């Protein structure tokens, strides 16, 4: 039996500044009560003006490398999953590669919005099958840069952050047992930022019209999210030959606690197996799944052999999920 692809170590980084529901009450026509009951979010972290994606991504990467006992010089690929790169090019992964002095690493970004980390892990796994040995996958977004803090329907939902994972070989039977990524571009306009790219480049009119901000059809995205979490996770569970009862931790993308609860109920996953931190961070886009995983490890809630079911979903529309058996580190 050949070795598996596992997560050897994780790290996370969030900006210091916290934006609470009470702060938002002073900015838009909303209330702590509305935000809490409709989303489960109590606060989110917001980057200060001189912090960019590569800064948060770098900090998370340093922690992940330390936790994985890995040297940056031994990383042969860096994938940064982000839709808020420092700049259109070079890739944020290249900026992080330089700061890490990861001289032997190729580096590129993947843009799959809130599913970005799951896409990064899938690409990293495939690259390991092609011969790469250690892959650093970073999910990072400074999504606050794309948010209109006058639009109450979006500004209460999101926060900034980064999470990182070092992928490497683990003992057979451990690591990623099954995974998938997918997309349905027919839903592209349900969650998008109209301007700032090649269709509507930065210009005074588009900025004045607020086209550089996130536009979202909340209800449609909500329905898509609950449905795809269930469909995608059921497929990977089947592929892995694992039943839902065997899952120790369900780690879904943290967008809204109601989405998580509705999906968990359909999947018959009771609350003590569902990881939730959306109350503290809001939706951190590509960072959300790796931040949750990093916290699970930090709080010593994971034991050797535990099965983890991860799922991401977001703009695109995109999704990705994986079943991972934790441990098997000593080859
Ligand atoms: N504070 C107070 N009221 C608000 C509000 C806010 N922050 N945002 C919206 N409202 C109002 C609406 O204007 C609407 O008022 P109306 O009935 O007078 O028109 C009312 O609340 C209900 O809005 P609705 O959109 O039906 O609420 P909802 O229960 O669907 O919850 C979301 C809205 C956005 C929380 C929910 O649809 C959602 O979470 N969707 C998925 C979003 C998501 O996860 N996106 C990222 C995916 S990666």
Distance 218 CA to ligand 1 centre (A): 6
What pLDDT shows up at residue 220?
A: 98
Active site residue 114: yes
Same fold flag, 4-169 and 177-325: yes
CATH of 177-325, one of 2.60.40.4070, 3.30.70.340, 3.40.47.10, 3.40.50.720: 3.40.47.10
Q: Is the CB of 283 under 6 A from ligand 1?
A: yes
pLDDT for the residue 331? 73
**What pLDDT was estimated at residue 330?**
80
Q: Answer yes or no: is the C-beta of 254 below 6 A from any ligand 1 atom.
A: no
* pLDDT tens, N- to C-terminus, the chain (331 residues): 688 999 999 999 999 999 999 999 999 999 999 999 999 999 999 999 999 999 999 999 999 999 999 999 999 999 999 999 999 999 999 999 999 999 999 999 999 999 999 999 999 999 999 999 999 999 999 999 999 999 999 999 999 999 999 999 999 999 999 999 999 999 999 999 999 999 999 999 999 999 999 999 999 999 999 999 999 999 999 999 999 999 999 999 999 999 999 999 999 999 999 999 999 999 999 999 999 999 999 998 899 999 999 999 999 999 999 999 999 998 7
H or E stretch covering 210? none
Pocket test for ligand 1, best of 117, 153, 253 (most atoms within 8 A of CB): 153
- Cβ of 54 closer than 6 Å to ligand 1, yes or no, is no
SS3 326: coil
- What single string gives the DSSP state of each residue in 58-115? HHHHHHHHHHTT--GGG--EEEEE-SS-SSSSS-HHHHHHHHHT-TT-EEEEE--GGG
Q: Is the CB of 39 under 6 A from ligand 1?
A: yes
Architecture of the domain delimited by 4-169: 3-Layer(aba) Sandwich (3.40)
Taking CA atoms, 323 is separated from 12, 51, 126, 233, in Å, by 21, 33, 15, 8
Read off the pLDDT of residues 295-319 as tens digits, 9 standing for 90 and up: 999 998 899 999 999 999 999 999 9
Per-residue pLDDT at 11: 98
DSSP 8-state class, residue 187: G
74 touches 158 (CB < 8 A): no
Give the whole-angstrom CA distance, residue 267 versus residue 273. 12
Query: Is 253 designated active site?
Result: yes
Domain spans in the chain, listed from the N-terminal domain onward: 4-169, 177-325
Cα separation values, 92 from 31, 85, 141, 166, Å: 36, 6, 11, 17
Rounded distance, CA 306 to CA 309, Å? 10
- pLDDT above 90 coverage of the chain, percent: 98
Report the nearest-CA residue for atom 1 of ligand 1.
30
**Cβ(68)–Cβ(166) under 8 Å?**
yes
What pLDDT, on a 0 to 100 scale, did the predictor assign at position 176? 98
């Amino acid at each position: 039996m050949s070795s598996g692809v596992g997560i050897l170590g994780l790290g996370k980084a969030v900006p210091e500044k916290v934006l609470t529901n009470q702060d938002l009450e002073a900015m838009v026509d909303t209330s702590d009560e509305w935000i809490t009951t409709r989303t489960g979010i109590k606060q989110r972290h917001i980057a200060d003006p001189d912090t960019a994606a590569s800064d948060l991504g770098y900090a998370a990467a340093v922690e992940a490398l330390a936790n994985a006992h890995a040297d940056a010089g031994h990383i042969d690929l860096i994938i940064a999953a982000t839709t808020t790169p420092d700049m259109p090019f070079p890739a944020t992964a290249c900026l992080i590669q330089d700061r890490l002095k990861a001289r032997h690493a190729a580096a590129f970004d993947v843009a799959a919005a809130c599913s970005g980390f799951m896409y990064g892990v899938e690409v990293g796994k495939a690259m390991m099958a092609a011969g790469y040995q250690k892959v650093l996958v970073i999910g990072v977004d400074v999504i606050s840069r794309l948010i209109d803090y006058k639009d109450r329907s979006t500004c209460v939902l999101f926060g900034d952050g980064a999470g990182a994972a070092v992928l490497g070989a683990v003992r057979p039977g451990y690591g990623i047992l099954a995974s998938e990524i997918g997309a349905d571009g027919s839903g592209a306009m349900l969650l998008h930022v109209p301007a700032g790219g090649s269709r509507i480049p930065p210009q005074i009119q588009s900025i004045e019209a607020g086209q550089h901000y996130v536009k979202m059809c909340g209800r449609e995205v909500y329905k898509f999210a609950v449905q795809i979490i269930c469909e995608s996770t059921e497929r990977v569970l089947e592929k892995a030959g694992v039943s839902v009862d065997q899952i120790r931790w369900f780690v879904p993308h943290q967008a809204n606690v109601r989405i998580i609860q509705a999906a968990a109920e359909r999947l018959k996953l009771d609350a003590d197996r569902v990881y939730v931190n959306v109350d503290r961070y809001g939706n951190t886009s590509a960072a959300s799944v790796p931040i949750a995983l990093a916290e699970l490890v930090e709080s010593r809630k994971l034991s050797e052999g535990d099965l983890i079911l991860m799922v991401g979903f977001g703009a695109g529309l995109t999704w990705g999920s994986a079943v991972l058996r934790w441990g098997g580190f000593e080859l």
